[in-house]
Amino acid sequence: MAPSSRSSRKDGSMTGRDPSPTESTVIVTIADEAALGPLARALAATLPAHAFLALDGDLGAGKTTFVKALAAAAGIDPAEVVSPTFGLVHVHPLPDGHPAERLVHADLYRLAGCDDLFELGWEELTAAPGWVAAEWSVRIKPALPADRLDILLEVASETARRASFTGRSATFAPLFAALRALPGASAG
């Protein structure tokens, strides 16, 4: 994996809340699915107890595979994590003692927009302690929390993926330090 980073000051607000004065981005090249393990472990070890992950990328970019790796790193049986395309939302309890009580895995591909969130009970799902991993978050961009981690997955080759992580607040500073420290880091 080869992370690179840049930091800049930008308005990360999407909901009218106070904008974050800090935005950081780290880009990680993932050689293959097996290389997701160290990345997922770094993420699971450094995410705050309440975190929103906005996952985007083309069909087949690996969004569900990424969530499955994160779940496994947090102690959830990866066989339990499947694409929530038809159910839209799956809630996975995290092991006892984990600071994040649960992982909410949402696939928002079939939503027409933010108006559809009410029927899902979205406010309750995202307000409870835990991690929210929302695939196709671009569909609800105006409703995304300002304090979030944007993850863009791109196909780099048949097996490789490029993951761009953009944190919208200083909350994610430990995560970015861990990503920059991954073996094989290079400028890029």
DSSP per residue over 40-103, as a string?
A: HHHHHHHS-SEEEEEEEESTTSSHHHHHHHHHHHTT--GGG----TTTSEEEEEPPTT-SS-EE
Domains present along the chain, CATH in parentheses: 2-10+22-180 (3.40.50.300)
Those residues with Cβ within 8 angstroms of residue 93's Cβ, 6 or more apart along the chain or in another chain: 101, 102
Mean pLDDT check: name the lowest of 17-31, 33-47, 161-175.
17-31
Whether residue 23 is predicted with pLDDT greater than 80 in this model: the reply is no
Rounded CA-CA distance 5/17 in Å is 26
Q: Which pLDDT tens digit goes with each residue over 72-114? A: 999 999 889 988 777 788 899 998 888 889 999 999 998 888 8
Number of H helices, E strands in the chain: 5, 8
Tell me the average pLDDT across 112-131. 86
